[in-house]
């Protein structure tokens, strides 16, 4: 773009939307957030008031019709993602869209086609790629510091399960939770997965099983280049948000540990201990949320490719489907079987 700052509009002023709004207003100098909309007008108003934004409302069309706005940030509910992407693309707006794009591959493909036709930039909100710790791991792979990767191991456990109502609409653990780990595996290894084997059950809360979902799962990923990945998921780790990765290769191994609120270590009478890791994803990943949005703004301003493209958003959905089928049929499933 020929300007040095980017005008944006935000669609969806929920928890994540408000976080992005704050970053756009206060932490990213090149960004100007002009307006916010939400189907819940009160939410849009609150967000605008808190940040001193002049414009807010219930209808996202206003953003798309505003010629001053270059890009939109879509943080509304998942079922609205593809129609909003298509509408924004048609309006010539660049698009940042939260993950997942959708749970239906046909809808995803239509949306990605619309983006391609319009020639706008689309970035999907896989924020963890921007976490400094995982970035360091990726860098060790790219630079050859750990040699040719052989194995990648991802531990991804939430502090506690979401409400059952949320679970029922979530599309299942693989689409809702593991999807981040599918993206992380692709990001760290820099290659594509061909086959997936998954196993799991509802061990934390039987009601999750009654709802047709799992809360504890292990997934094996076979990459085209021979790397094998393993993912350990659980909806409940009592010690907090457990987010670790390890890449093992021909020249060494690199591990990213959890993040802690402080570095203090106590030598006490019965143990040597520290405070548990950061417990809340918005605190744990605050840096990654800021960086992904900064990079989106910069990509648009500089006309560079999106750091997390439309296909990067589609493939983990396919992986989630393959994992689900692997559970149902108790066999390794090739991604090519999915579509």
Quote the least distance from Cβ 76 to a copy of itself, whole Å.
26
Q: Which residue has the tokens 């149902």?
A: 328
* Integer angstrom CA distances of residue 124 from 50, 76, 180, 225, 292: 26, 13, 11, 25, 9
206 contacts: CB under 8 Å, gap ≥ 6: none
Which 3 state secondary structure label does DSSP give 152?
strand
Binding site for a copy of itself (CB under 8 A): 26-27, 132-133, 135-137, 140, 145-148, 150-151, 153, 155, 157, 197, 199-201, 203-204, 216, 218, 220, 222, 226, 228, 230, 232, 234, 236-240, 242, 248, 250-259, 261-277, 330-332
Quote the least distance from Cβ 50 to a copy of itself, whole Å.
8
Quote the least distance from Cβ 21 to a copy of itself, whole Å.
13
Q: Which of residues 220 and 315 has its CB atom nearest to a copy of itself in the complex?
A: 220
Q: Which of residues 123 and 216 has its CB atom nearest to a copy of itself in the complex?
A: 216
Quote the least distance from Cβ 170 to a copy of itself, whole Å.
20
Distance between terminal CA atoms of the chain? 36
Q: Which of residues 2 and 263 has its CB atom nearest to a copy of itself in the complex?
A: 263
Q: Which of residues 172 and 277 has its CB atom nearest to a copy of itself in the complex?
A: 277
CA 121 – CA 259 distance, rounded (Å): 32
CA 177 – CA 129 distance, rounded (Å): 15
Closest-CA residue to 68 (of 157, 8, 148): 8
Quote the least distance from Cβ 118 to a copy of itself, whole Å.
33
Q: Which of residues 28 and 43 has its CB atom nearest to a copy of itself in the complex?
A: 28
Q: Which of residues 277 and 316 has its CB atom nearest to a copy of itself in the complex?
A: 277
The token duo for 106 is: 């046909």
Burial classification of residue 330, based on how many CB atoms lie within 10 Å of its CB (0-12 exposed, 13-18 middle, 19 or more buried) = exposed
Q: Which of residues 67 and 267 has its CB atom nearest to a copy of itself in the complex?
A: 267
57 contacts: CB under 8 Å, gap ≥ 6: 35, 37, 41, 44
Quote the least distance from Cβ 225 to a copy of itself, whole Å.
10
CA 12 – CA 58 distance, rounded (Å): 9
Quote the least distance from Cβ 52 to a copy of itself, whole Å.
10
Quote the least distance from Cβ 320 to a copy of itself, whole Å.
18
Q: Which of residues 60 and 182 has its CB atom nearest to a copy of itself in the complex?
A: 182
Give the phi and the psi of residue 71 in degrees, each rounded to 5. Answer: -150, 150
Q: Specify whether the CB–CB gap between 80 and 111 falls below 8 A.
A: no
């Amino acid at each position: 773009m020929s300007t040095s700052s980017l005008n944006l509009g935000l669609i969806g002023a929920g928890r994540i939307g408000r976080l992005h709004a704050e970053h756009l207003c206060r932490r990213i100098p090149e960004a100007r957030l002009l307006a916010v909309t939400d189907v819940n007008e009160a939410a849009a108003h609150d967000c605008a008031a808190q940040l001193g934004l002049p414009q807010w409302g219930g209808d996202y069309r206003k953003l798309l019709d505003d010629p001053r706005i270059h890009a939109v940030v879509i943080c509304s509910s998942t079922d609205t993602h593809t129609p909003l992407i298509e509408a924004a693309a048609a309006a010539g707006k660049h698009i940042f869209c939260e993950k997942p794009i959708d749970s239906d591959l046909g809808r995803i493909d239509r949306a990605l086609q619309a983006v391609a036709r319009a020639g706008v930039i689309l970035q999907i909100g896989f924020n963890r790629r921007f976490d400094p710790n995982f970035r360091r791991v990726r860098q060790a792979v790219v630079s050859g510091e750990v040699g040719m990767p052989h194995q990648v191991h991802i531990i991804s456990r939430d502090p506690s399960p979401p409400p059952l109502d949320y679970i029922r609409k979530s599309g299942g653990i693989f689409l809702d939770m593991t999807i981040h780990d599918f993206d992380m595996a692709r990001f760290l290894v820099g290659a594509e997965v061909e086959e997936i084997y998954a196993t799991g059950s509802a061990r934390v809360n039987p009601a999750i099983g009654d709802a047709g979902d799992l809360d504890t799962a292990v997934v094996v990923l076979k990459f085209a280049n021979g790397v094998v990945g393993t993912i350990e998921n659980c909806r409940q780790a009592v010690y907090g948000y457990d987010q670790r990765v390890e890449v093992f290769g021909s020249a060494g191994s690199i591990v990213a540990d959890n993040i802690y609120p402080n570095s203090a270590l106590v030598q006490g009478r019965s143990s040597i201990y520290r405070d548990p890791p950061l417990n809340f994803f918005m605190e744990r990943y605050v840096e990654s949320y800021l960086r992904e949005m900064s990079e989106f703004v910069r990509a648009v301003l500089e006309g560079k490719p999106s750091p997390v493209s439309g296909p990067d958003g589609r493939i983990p959905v396919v992986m989630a489907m393959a994992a689900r089928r692997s559970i149902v049929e108790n066999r390794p499933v090739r991604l090519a079987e999915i579509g």
